[in-house]
Copies of this chain bind each other. A is one copy, B any other.
Amino acid sequence: MQLSQRVLGTEYSPIRKFRPLVLEAEARGIRALHLNIGQPDIETPRPFFDAVNAYKNRVIGYAPSDGVADFVQAMIHYYKGLGVALDHNDLLTTYGGSEALQIAFSCMLDEGDEVLVPEPYYPNYNTFVRMAGGVIRGIPTRAEDGYRFATREQIEPHITPRTRALLVANPGNPTGVVLTPEERQTLIDIAREHDIFLISDEVYRELVYDGEPISTMLQHTGADENIVVIDSVSKRFSATGTRVGALISRNGELMHNAMKLCQGRLSVATLDQVGAAALFESLGSDYYEKLRAEYHRRRDAVVSALREIPGAQFDVPEGAFYMMVRLPVDDTESLQRFLLEEFSDHGETVMFAPGSGFYADPDEGRQEIRIAYVSNCDQLRRSVELLKLGVAAYQKKMGIPAQVNAVPLACAC
Question: Given that A16-B65, A60-B48, A272-B269 are contacting pairs, would A257 and B106 also be in contact in the complex, using a CB cutoff of 8 Å?
Answer: no
- Decide if A7 touches B96 in the complex (CB within 8 Å): no
Give the CA-CA distance A251 to B2 in the complex, in Å. 11
- Decide if A96 touches B3 in the complex (CB within 8 Å): no
Give the CA-CA distance A241 to B62 in the complex, in Å. 4
- Decide if A196 touches B108 in the complex (CB within 8 Å): no
- Decide if B5 touches A110 in the complex (CB within 8 Å): yes
- Cβ < 8 Å to B, chain A residues 118-152: 124, 127-128, 131-133
What chain B residues lie within 8 Å of A111 (beta carbons)?
111, 133
What chain B residues lie within 8 Å of A99 (beta carbons)?
265
Give the CA-CA distance A269 to B251 in the complex, in Å. 29
| Nearest 7 interchain pairs by C-beta | A241-B270, A127-B264, A13-B263, A60-B241, A98-B265, A243-B269, A43-B58
What chain B residues lie within 8 Å of A49 (beta carbons)?
55
- Decide if A124 touches B264 in the complex (CB within 8 Å): yes
What chain B residues lie within 8 Å of A7 (beta carbons)?
106-107, 257-258, 260-261
Give the CA-CA distance A239 to B266 in the complex, in Å. 13
Asked if A342 is an interface residue, CB under 8 A from chain B, the answer is no
- Decide if A58 touches B39 in the complex (CB within 8 Å): no
Give the CA-CA distance A109 to B12 in the complex, in Å. 19
- Decide if A52 touches B271 in the complex (CB within 8 Å): yes
Give the CA-CA distance A48 to B61 in the complex, in Å. 13
Residue among A42, A43, A62, A98 facing the most chain B CB atoms (10 A cut-off): A62
Q: Which of B11, B53, B240 contacts A53 (CB 8 A)?
A: B53
What chain B residues lie within 8 Å of A4 (beta carbons)?
106-110, 113, 132-133
Asked if A386 is an interface residue, CB under 8 A from chain B, the answer is no
Give the CA-CA distance A59 to B253 in the complex, in Å. 38
What chain B residues lie within 8 Å of A67 (beta carbons)?
none
- Cβ < 8 Å to B, chain A residues 60-85: 60-63, 65
- Decide if B251 touches A1 in the complex (CB within 8 Å): yes
What chain B residues lie within 8 Å of A59 (beta carbons)?
40-44, 238-239
Asked if A388 is an interface residue, CB under 8 A from chain B, the answer is no
Copy total for this chain? 2
Asked if A358 is an interface residue, CB under 8 A from chain B, the answer is no
What chain B residues lie within 8 Å of A175 (beta carbons)?
none
Asked if A300 is an interface residue, CB under 8 A from chain B, the answer is no
Give the CA-CA distance A124 to B261 in the complex, in Å. 9
Asked if A281 is an interface residue, CB under 8 A from chain B, the answer is no
A57 to chain B, nearest CB (A): 9
Give the CA-CA distance A37 to B10 in the complex, in Å. 36
A240 to chain B, nearest CB (A): 5
Give the CA-CA distance A253 to B3 in the complex, in Å. 8
Asked if A267 is an interface residue, CB under 8 A from chain B, the answer is yes
Give the CA-CA distance A98 to B270 in the complex, in Å. 15
Asked if A156 is an interface residue, CB under 8 A from chain B, the answer is no
A134 to chain B, nearest CB (A): 9
Asked if A381 is an interface residue, CB under 8 A from chain B, the answer is no
Give the CA-CA distance A268 to B268 in the complex, in Å. 10
Give the CA-CA distance A63 to B240 in the complex, in Å. 9
Give the CA-CA distance A259 to B11 in the complex, in Å. 10
A-B contact pairs, 25 of them (CB 8 A): A1-B225, A1-B254, A4-B106, A4-B107, A4-B108, A4-B110, A4-B133, A6-B110, A7-B260, A10-B257, A12-B260, A12-B263, A13-B260, A17-B263, A40-B59, A44-B58, A49-B55, A95-B95, A98-B264, A102-B265, A128-B264, A240-B266, A240-B267, A243-B266, A243-B267
Asked if A195 is an interface residue, CB under 8 A from chain B, the answer is yes
Residue among A59, A241, A260 facing the most chain B CB atoms (10 A cut-off): A241
- Decide if B60 touches A240 in the complex (CB within 8 Å): yes
Residue among A4, A41, A259 facing the most chain B CB atoms (10 A cut-off): A4
